[in-house]
Each structure stands twice: as structure tokens, then as C-alpha cells.
Amino acid sequence: MISPVPLELCVPSDVLTVDSVWKRYRDHDALRDVTFSLWSGESVGYLGPNGAGKTTTLKLLAGLARPTRGSVRVHGFDPSRDRARALRRLGALVETPGVPPYLTGSDLLEYVARVKGVPPSERRAAARHAAEAMNVADHLARPFGSLSTGLARRMLLGATLVGDPEVLLLDEPTLGLDPAARHDLRAVLRTLSRNGLTLLLSTHLLEDVQEVCGRVLFLRNGVLVGDEAVNLEPDTGVGGSRRALRLRFGSDVASDSVIRAVGPEVGVTIDGPRDATVRFSGGDAEQAALLARVVRASLPLVSASTPEPDLARRYMERVGREDAT
């Protein structure tokens, strides 16, 4: 039998990079020597209490602030110095941006399309496509000030999707959404991730991370105190429980090869050149069938393990109570 040929990794390691970053505001260090990177196609949760430095990190990556020391890179570019090239393929929702109440949803999304360089003839279609993804296309003609809190939030989330970005930075994206809208947003994010989108999700809701992300970063008092895999067990949608498996390969694998092997219904997060986390619905039989498909695809699988569950317990162990900070 011919041994499988090692597959070349098809994605860069520095889609998002935060390298030894400090951010100081007057007499307070919001970030202290923070370092992490995201691979293409990763969905990563960013957890910590209020004041931990999560929003500051997203502002640095979105080019809204500069680090005091260290560097940040988006697709290899510094967003504060080479803003156009760094942010061309990025969508971001940081805090709650102010939108003039007289602007319609269409005005907002078409403006974002213009800023991101979408050709004039394609802007209206790009705006509608993004609005449809968030189920707000029927409200594009309404002034922003007339939208409910949930609709306004979904319209802002639609704006982040204009131009089909490759990277999303989301700060508390489910704030103000009802349970059904939160469920729909998580489904959208899982689909985008499966199609190669890189996501950094800052939130207080562990359920969002549990449902969407394959990896989590813990931040406390501006210091990164944990970088771990997530086991996506519960699924609030129809279809029962969800499981996660961490796959380790004997040589570098291409993300599209893993996706083809496991099938379109399985979520895939690339954790490194030889590691991937897969998320699927079902029990032992479905798990066995999934692993059999990977083996039949001649991928160099050497192990499959279950990431540590109980995100809430790990949060308390790494971060502790908010009033303790």
C-alpha cells in the first residue's frame, strides 16, 4: 500500500496576529504582553470579564487604536498604518457604533460597500445579499431609528458581512437578540466558518462560544491566561446533541481535504497545520462513520480525542468572578 503523500497546508498562520501587545491608557494597562494568532477558518472565542481588554484588542485589530508596544497584523498588514490593505477583507462590529436615525438600512449597507471598495454597480446587490444572511432584507427601506433593538443589531451584523469578508471581528454580537435570532446568528457563523471565514468572537455568553467556536482565549486584567480547545456539546437547534472531536494528523493537511472527507454537514475548524476540530450531531455511530470517512480519504489520521468539556468551569478556573478583578 502506498503511504499517503503529506498534503501542503493551504492557509497562512498569520491571518490575525497579536504579538507582545501592550496598550496603556493614562495610568492603566488595558493589555499586558498579549500574544496569539488565528489560522484561516478558525472560529475563536474571546472570553473575560468587563474591563479585561477584549474590546481593546478588537479595536487594535480593526485599526481603531494603536498598541503602545508590540504589533498587530491582519493578513500581514498593520491596520493602523496600512488600513486599506489590512481591512479590505475584514468585517467588524466593535461596541455599538452610532448610526444616524434617518439613514435607512440600505443606506448603511451600501455605504459600507462603498468604503470596502465594492464597484458602484454591485453595491445594492452586495447590501441585499448581506441583509438576507441576517434575515433583515425586508427592513432595508426603514430608517435606522425606527428599528427595534434586535433588528438594529441584526442590521449592524449584516453590515459586517458586506463584501463577503474573510475575517470577522465581533464584539458581543448577540446583544439585544431574542433566542431565535441568537440561534439563527450562530447557524450563520457556523456556515461561514465552514466556508473558510476566520472569526474572533468577543462575548460574555459562554453559550455563543460553545455553539460556534473550536478554540477559546481567556483574558483577565489585560493578560492572556488560557488558550484551549472547546468541546461543542449542546446544540439548541433541532437534531439533538452536538459533539466535538480533536483530530491529530501525522503530517500537514489542507483544510479543504478535511472538509471533503468529513462531509458538508460537519463543522471543521483548523487548529494548526496538523490539527482540526470537527463538530457533528449524533452519537457513537455517527462518530464512527465520520472517522471511517477520514480514513477512507487517506488522510494521515493518528488520533482523535474529545476536547475538555464544561466551558463554564474552565472560565471560573482561568478568570474567576468579575468582582475579583
**pLDDT per residue of the chain (325 residues) written in tens, 0 to 9:** 333 333 333 334 568 999 999 999 988 899 999 999 998 888 899 999 988 999 999 999 999 999 999 999 998 889 988 888 888 889 999 987 888 999 999 999 999 999 888 999 999 999 999 999 888 999 999 999 999 988 999 999 999 999 889 999 999 998 888 888 888 888 888 888 888 899 999 998 888 888 888 889 999 999 999 988 886 544 434 334 567 788 999 998 888 888 889 887 787 877 778 888 887 877 778 888 899 999 999 999 999 887 665 788 888 888 876 543 3
Q: What is the pLDDT of residue 308?
A: 62
Q: Where are the domains of the chain?
A: 16-89+166-230+311-324, 99-155, 242-305
Per-residue cell: 114: 462603498
pLDDT of residue 29: 92
CATH number of 242-305: 3.30.70.1150
Give the pLDDT of residue 14: 66
| Cα 38 to Cα 273: distance, rounded to the nearest angstrom | 12
Q: Which residue, among 94, 36, 64, has the nearest Cα to 215 in the 3D structure?
A: 36
Predicted TM-score (pTM) of the model is 0.74
Q: What is the pLDDT of residue 242?
A: 66
- CB under 8 A, 24+ apart: contacts of 256-261: 256/10, 257/7, 257/297, 257/299, 258/294, 258/299, 259/194, 260/297, 261/293, 261/294, 261/296, 261/297, 261/299
Residue 291, Cβ density class (10 Å: 0-12 exposed, 13-18 middle, ≥19 buried): middle
pLDDT of residue 322: 56
CATH class of the domain comprising 16-89+166-230+311-324: alpha beta
Q: Would you list the DSSP string of 162-227?
A: TT--SEEEEESTTTT--HHHHHHHHHHHHHHHHTT-EEEEE-S-HHHHHHH-SEEEEEETTEEEEE
